[in-house]
Homo-oligomer: A and B are copies of this chain.
Amino acid sequence: MPGRDYLAIPGPSVMPDAVLSAMHRAAPNIYEGALVDMAATLGPDLRRVARTQGHVAMYIGNGHAAWEAALSNVVASGDTVLVPATGRFGHGWADTAQGLGVQTEILDFGKKDPFDLARVEEALAADTAHRIKAVLAVHVDTSTSVRNDIAGLRAALDRTGHPALLMADCIASLGCDVFEMDAWGVDVMVTGSQKGLMVPPGMCFVFFNDKAASVRAGMAQVSRYWDWTPRANPEQFFQYWNGTAPTQHLYGLRAALDMLMAEGMEAVWKRHDTLARAIWAACDVWAEGGALSLNVADPDNRSRAVTSLRLDQGRATALRRWTEGQISLTLGIGLGMAEPGDPKRDDFFRLGHMGHLNGNMVMGMLGGIEAGLRSLDVPIGDNALGAAAQVIAG
């Protein structure tokens, strides 16, 4: 296919040339020297991204690995966790907990709305025995693009005096949506390399504070691979990774963190905010035609990293096929919005707008979608792209 591909799915995100180039390098010495020195610089910068003075354990793994890693350090078979869910990934984390023998109390808030904090608070208040060891909260559910109020959860825990750990899944949101681990009172946070961190899939991260560390210290047994203690405070280099380091990913991560540090997290968040608003501005105009709609009605509840949409009559899939086949623009499939077999399944799609992103990319994505919508004769409002350009113009 001629022309540059644009992968606009909600992860993996577009990887910077600097990251790919940094990974294209000979295998290094893993016992001493430059790599060992460099690895020590990763933790401090990762903590700057997560806005925490706490600890960070790095793993070779994906987001699901991070889920299991985090859980393995603080809950065990027979324990109970509370899981407010706003999409497939909330349920996914709960499922991972179940796989460890953990009891899950799920509060399902559907696929279009964020946590109802009142209901969560009610559940916490009802747990007078404090059976709930942790609240598993997805900050942004990649399937629905719902963004939840994590600071609000902390307030609910505090109001009820509940000692459960607040665990946040920032896989889709970190480095895109504003997130303040310490200021928001998050005890454990998990994320992956392949979205806002702009590194290929293959690494994941668990951040934790001293409260979580003390819960870990009280665990009867934690598996060697998941144990975050030596990873966060290694005496020897191999302990960072419980074995061989993911050498090429480390180079990529270093390059990505350099970019984030150079830009500054506030600027990174502002950029994602502007570009997300540009996308929504176009979507709002397209929606005037009646065929397309944003999944999350209230902008306050939307992620700045991913946008879930509906295009009726199965045209979401047709649109994806057109943009990928005609102009090398790959949009994300709908995920978790309709079960297999449901005739509505082809009505959903998603846009990834995370990480290595700027105004010309977003205009290309939106322009490609508009071409696709026109190709499919979808009724749309007038000058959606101009509305987006106006937001970028500022």
A contacts, CB < 8 Å to B: 1-7, 9, 11-17, 20-21, 23-33, 60-65, 67-68, 72, 77, 95-96, 99-101, 192, 194, 200-202, 221-225, 227, 241-249, 259, 263, 268, 271, 323-324, 326-330, 332-333, 356-368, 370-372, 374-375, 382-386, 388-390, 392-394
Contacts and interface: CB of A to CB of B under 8 A. Distances in A.
| Nearest 5 CB-CB pairings of A with B | A363-B367, A364-B364, A3-B358, A327-B359, A64-B243
A90 to B, nearest CB: 15
A107 to B, nearest CB: 21
B2 A357 contact: yes
Given A363-B363, A383-B382, A2 B200 contact: no
B358 A374 contact: no
Given A29-B9, A31-B9, A332-B31, A371 B375 contact: no
Nearest to A71: B223
B25 A17 contact: yes
A225 B359 contact: no
A201 B245 contact: yes
A313 B192 CA distance: 47
9 contacts: A6-B360, A15-B26, A60-B62, A60-B201, A99-B227, A327-B392, A360-B368, A363-B371, A382-B383
B65 A225 contact: yes
Nearest to A26: B5
Given A11-B244, A27-B7, A31-B9, A393 B374 contact: yes
Contacts of A368: 359-360, 363, 392
Contacts of A224: 64, 68, 95-96, 99-100
Contacts of A363: 327, 363-364, 366-368, 370-371, 385
Nearest to A221: B101
Nearest to A328: B358
Nearest to A72: B223
Contacts of A326: 359, 392
B244 A27 contact: no
Contacts of A330: 29
A247 B327 contact: no
> Max chain B CB contacts within 10 Å: which of A1, A243, A362?
A243
A63 B60 CA distance: 11
A327 B394 CA distance: 12
Contacts of A384: 386
B370 A360 contact: no
A63 B367 contact: no
A147 B50 CA distance: 46
Nearest to A92: B243
A63 B21 contact: no
B356 A374 contact: no
B225 A68 contact: yes
A12 B392 contact: no
Nearest to A392: B371
A242 B9 CA distance: 18
Contact of A370 (B20, B72, B246, B385): B385
A61 B200 CA distance: 14
